[in-house]
Amino acid sequence: NKKGITVIVSTVSHKKAMRDYVRSQIPQFIEVYLECPTKVCADRDYKGLYEKAKAGEYQTFAGITEPYEPSENPNLVLNTSQMSINECSAILFKSITAFLGNS
């Protein structure tokens, strides 16, 4: 990023303080919140991670052992339980393209 190269990072950042910290460190930062109820995430979980978390196999697991701390104003919210992958992808691509064009 410091060399002017666009960097895209996908993380599970359920703590607001961590997202705020990253936003303060990276001038051209965009937060995309993938909104989805925990039950829908668990229903989609083909690896069985939610069941393991419910069984106590993980100390920290967003949505199970720790709550998601929402941001006041994420740059983009995509409700993945109400929109298809194609719809979310199109909106994300359009938004990121506009963001990068204005940066």
Residue whose C-alpha is closest to residue 87's, from 99, 96, 78:
78
Give the whole-angstrom CA distance, residue 77 versus residue 4.
Answer: 26
* 10 catalytic residue (yes or no): no
What tokens appear for 23 in the block? Answer: 């936003």
Catalytic residue among 13, 81, 84, 89: 13
The residues that are catalytic are 13
